[in-house]
């Protein structure tokens, strides 16, 4: 039986991963390794600009070392690029991977990323392969995020939302790429900003959360926002993709404990992942769907 023959997303997830039923067991399995610390953390927290090759294309992305060291009340971790992001971007853009071969990802998919940070690297790399990609973060990073989208999107056509005060910054579109930027604050917002970008009722195929699990005070707001966005797509199940660096077993366990209350959660198997993201790498990749 081929991967394409599995019709439901649950069937597909059971093939490419294993469902999490015991949070303590999952935590122990992931944290019972000595991680290669040299491969973790930020790429370069002092560089203003980074050059990266993802999926055969060069991206020049700007960071903000000044914001990273500031006391900004909204947080500063999104001011620099963390190492899991280019690893995830490289894997997602490879259309031979299991997400594409099972049809979980496809060219007409609509993707939303939470907490994308200033660089927006995953969205920059993925936008040209899907129908729409919405990059979201807090207000403090949106200006530089939009600059990175504009610089890395050829021949952009920008439009400002009209009417009431909008949390949609702009859009950059060419024949091969569709990326939009919108403000979403997990603690304060609902998902209304997505209605301005996508229109009410448009199905979201996947929500991406990359390296956003680190602050125990933000775990519940993050899961709540994931639930709100996933619940928007009535009639079709939205896949929630969570990639993260494994820092604290206590924070990870608390996050998964909250997540499984409203989501079914699978960890992708090593056979489904590139070497840099396999178990023992210091990173983990999970997929989830609403119960």
Enter the pTM of the model.
Answer: 0.89
HEC letters along the chain: CCHHHCCCHHHHHHHHEEECCCHHHHHHHHHCCCCCHHHCCECCCCCCEEEEEECCEEEEEECCHHHHCCCCCCCCHHHCCECHHHHHHHHHHCCCCHHHHCCCCCCCCEEEEECCCCCCHHHHHHHHHCCEEEEEECHHHHHHHHHHHHHCCCCCCCCCCCCCCCCEEEEEECCCCEEEEEECCCCCCCCHHHHHHHCCCCCCCEEEEECCCCCHHHHHHHHHHHHHHHHHCCCCCCEEEEEEECCCHHHHHHHHHHHCCCEEEEEECHHHCCHHHCCCCCEEEEEEEEC
> Which residues of the chain register pLDDT less than 70?
1-6, 68-77, 154-177
pLDDT digits (tens, 9 = 90+) for 217-238: 999 999 999 999 999 877 789 9
Q: What is the pLDDT of residue 280?
A: 94
Q: What is the pLDDT of residue 169?
A: 57
Domains with residue ranges and CATH for the chain: 3-290 (3.40.50.150)
Q: What is the pLDDT of residue 175?
A: 37
pLDDT digits (tens, 9 = 90+) for 58-86: 999 999 877 765 555 555 667 889 999 99
pLDDT digits (tens, 9 = 90+) for 111-136: 999 999 999 999 999 999 999 999 99
Q: What is the pLDDT of residue 171?
A: 46
């Amino acid at each position: 039986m081929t991967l394409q023959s599995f019709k439901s997303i649950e069937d597909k997830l059971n093939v490419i991963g294993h469902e999490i039923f015991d949070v303590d067991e999952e935590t122990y399995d992931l944290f019972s390794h000595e991680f290669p610390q040299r491969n973790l953390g930020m790429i370069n927290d002092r560089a203003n600009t980074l050059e990266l090759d993802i999926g055969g294309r060069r991206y020049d992305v700007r960071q903000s070392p000044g914001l990273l060291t500031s006391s900004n009340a909204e947080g500063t971790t999104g001011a620099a690029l963390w190492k899991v992001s280019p690893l995830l971007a490289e894997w997602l853009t490879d259309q031979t991977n299991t997400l594409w071969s099972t049809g979980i990802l496809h060219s007409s998919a609509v993707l939303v990323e939470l907490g994308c940070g200033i660089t927006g690297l995953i969205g920059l790399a993925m936008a040209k392969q899907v129908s729409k990609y919405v990059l979201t973060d807090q207000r403090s990073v949106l200006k530089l995020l939009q600059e990175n989208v504009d610089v890395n999107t050829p021949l952009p056509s920008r439009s400002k939302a009209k009417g009431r005060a909008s949390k949609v910054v702009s859009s950059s579109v060419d024949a091969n790429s569709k990326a939009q930027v919108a403000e979403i604050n997990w603690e304060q917002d609902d998902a209304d900003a997505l209605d301005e970008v996508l229109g009410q009722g448009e199905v979201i195929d996947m929500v991406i959360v990359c390296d956003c699990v680190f602050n125990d005070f933000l775990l519940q707001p993050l899961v709540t926002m994931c639930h709100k966005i996933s619940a928007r797509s009535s009639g079709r199940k939205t896949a929630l993709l969570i990639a993260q660096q494994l820092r604290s077993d206590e924070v990870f366990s608390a996050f998964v404990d909250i997540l499984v209350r409203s989501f079914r959660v699978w960890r992708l198997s090593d056979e489904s992942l590139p070497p840099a993201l396999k178990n023992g790498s210091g990173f983990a990749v999970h997929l989830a769907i609403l119960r």
